[in-house]
Amino acid sequence: MTRFSDHYVFFLVQLLASIELMTGNVKESRGSMQCSVILGDYSGEYSRRGPVEPSTISSRKVKIGINGFGRIGRLVARCALERDDIELVAVNDPFISTDYMAYMFKYDSVHGRYTKNQIEHKDDGTLLFGKFEVKVFQHKDPSEIPWADTGAEFVVESTGVFTTKDKASAHFKGGAKKVVITAPSADAPMFVMGVNEKKYTPDLNIVSNASCTTNCLAPLAKIIHEKFGIVEGLMTTVHSVTASQKIVDGPSAKDWRGGRAACHNIIPSSTGAAKAVGKVLPELNGKLTGMSLRVPTIDVSVVDLTVRLEKGATYDEVKAAVKAQAEGELKGIVGYTEDEVVSSDFVGDSR
C-alpha cells in the first residue's frame, strides 16, 4: 500500500488559515500489516486544494511574514501567493540580498520557474510579486524585525534555528501575534492537518507544524489506529537529501555518517517522526519507533510503516479503510492509487 504526496508547505499554509479561523476571524497477515507511504519534503501544489477552503475561513486576508527565505520559506511564499485568503507582506533573511531573493524565488530546480506573476527587485528593501509589494529585512535577531510596520500578524519561522517557544517569542517584540514554526519543536505544541488541528485554541500563540515525515506518518497512523487499533509499530523513512548534507565527503562532527557524500550514498540517519506522532496522537505515544535512510533524490520520500494490530485485518480491509478516508474526511490530505507510479510522479502533489 502506497501513499504519494509532496505536501509539507501546503499543509503549513492550511494551518495558518485554520489558526486564523479558530482565532476568531502492505503486506497482509492476521493482526499485523505493512504499509508504504511516499511523502514530499517541503512543497505543495500551489493551489487551494485541501481540507480548509478559503471561502470558509475569513473575509479578511491573513497577513504573514516569513523569517528565513530558504527552501521552505520560498515555497511558503509560492503557496501563499496562490491563495486569496493569505497576503505575504514581509520577508526577513540576513544572508540573502534582495536581488538574489528574486532570483532564487523565480528559478527552482525541483518545481521549475515561477510564472504565476512577474517577480522584480524594486530596491534593497522591496520585492515586487506582480502588483504586490513585499518588504524585505535582513536582521539576524528576530526581535529586531519590524513586523508591525508591515501589518504582518502571523510569522512563519522557517530558519530552522528559532524552534523553541523562548526563541520564537522574539518575534512578538516586533509586533507579531502568532508564530508557526516549520520544524519540530521541543516545547511548542505541534499540529498536523487532518490529525489534530481542531485541538488548536486561540491562546496558543506559538505552534509547530511538525516535520515533513510526521505530516506523512501521522494521518496514516490515525486511519489505521481508529479502524483496527495499533499495539506497536516500526517506521522507516527513505528520505530525500536535505541542505544539511554534504555534496562530497566533509566534516560533520556530530553525525559522521551525515558528512559522507549525499549524492553517492544511502546514509542511515535518525528521525524523531515516530516519537512526534505521539505528541499529535497521544493514544499512540510510546507505541511507534523509527529510523531514516537518506538517499540521492532531491524531493519526495517514502515512509514504510509496519504495525501490530489489535484487530485482525486482511490486506483488502486495510486498503479499503485508507481509500475511504482518502475520499472522505481526509480528502486533500491522504490520496489513494493503485497505479504503477514512482516518487517523481508526485513532485508538487499537495496531498
81 in any annotated domain:
yes
Task: List Cβ neighbours of 258 (8 Å cut-off, separation of 6 or more).
Answer: 244, 245, 246, 252, 267, 269, 294
Q: What is the pLDDT along the chain (351 residues), one digit of tens a residue?
A: 444 445 666 667 777 666 665 655 443 333 444 444 444 443 443 333 343 443 344 457 899 999 999 999 999 999 999 888 999 999 999 999 999 999 999 999 999 999 988 899 899 999 999 888 999 999 999 999 999 999 999 999 999 999 999 999 999 999 999 999 999 999 999 999 999 999 999 999 999 999 999 999 999 999 999 999 999 999 999 999 998 999 999 999 999 999 999 999 999 999 989 889 999 999 999 999 999 999 999 999 999 999 999 999 999 999 999 999 999 999 999 999 999 999 999 998 888
Q: Are 58 and 202 in the same domain?
A: yes
Binding residues for NAD(+): 71-72, 93, 182
- The answer to whether the beta carbons of residues 180 and 17 sit under 8 Å apart is no
**Parent domain of 287:** 2-7+26-41+212-346
Tell me how crowded residue 168 is: count the other CB atoms within 10 A of its CB. 27
112 in any annotated domain:
yes
What is the amino acid identity at position 247? I
The pLDDT score that the predictor gives to residue 57 is: 40
Domain containing 246 — which CATH number?
Answer: 3.30.360.10
Three-class DSSP category at 285: coil
Q: Are 89 and 186 in the same domain?
A: yes
- The answer to whether the beta carbons of residues 64 and 152 sit under 8 Å apart is yes
Q: Are 217 and 184 in the same domain?
A: no
Q: Which residues are catalytic?
A: 212
Out of 177, 208, 239, pick the residue that ends a domain: 208
How many domains is the chain partitioned into structurally?
2
User: Tens of pLDDT along 299-332?
Assistant: 999 999 999 999 999 999 999 999 999 999 999 9
Q: Are 192 and 218 in the same domain?
A: no
351 in any annotated domain:
no
The pLDDT score that the predictor gives to residue 349 is: 85
The candidate with the shortest Cα–Cα distance to 221, out of 287, 269, 294, is 287
12 in any annotated domain:
no
The pLDDT score that the predictor gives to residue 10 is: 63
- The answer to whether the beta carbons of residues 179 and 204 sit under 8 Å apart is no
> Rounded to whole angstroms, how far apart are CA atoms 93 and 67?
6
Is the pTM of the predicted complex or chain greater than 0.75?
Answer: yes
Q: How many helices (H) and strands (E) does the chain have?
A: 8, 15
Binding residues: 71-72, 93, 182, 211-213, 242, 271-272, 294
* Mean pLDDT value across the chain: 87
Q: Are 31 and 90 in the same domain?
A: no
Q: Are 169 and 79 in the same domain?
A: yes
> Rounded to whole angstroms, how far apart are CA atoms 224 and 222?
6
Binding residues for D-glyceraldehyde 3-phosphate: 211-213, 242, 271-272, 294
What is the amino acid identity at position 222? K
User: Tens of pLDDT along 93-150?
Assistant: 999 999 999 999 999 999 999 998 889 989 999 999 988 899 999 999 999 999 999 9
Q: Are 171 and 311 in the same domain?
A: no
The pLDDT score that the predictor gives to residue 265 is: 98
Grid coordinates representing 5 are 504526496
Out of 152, 185, 208, pick the residue that ends a domain: 208
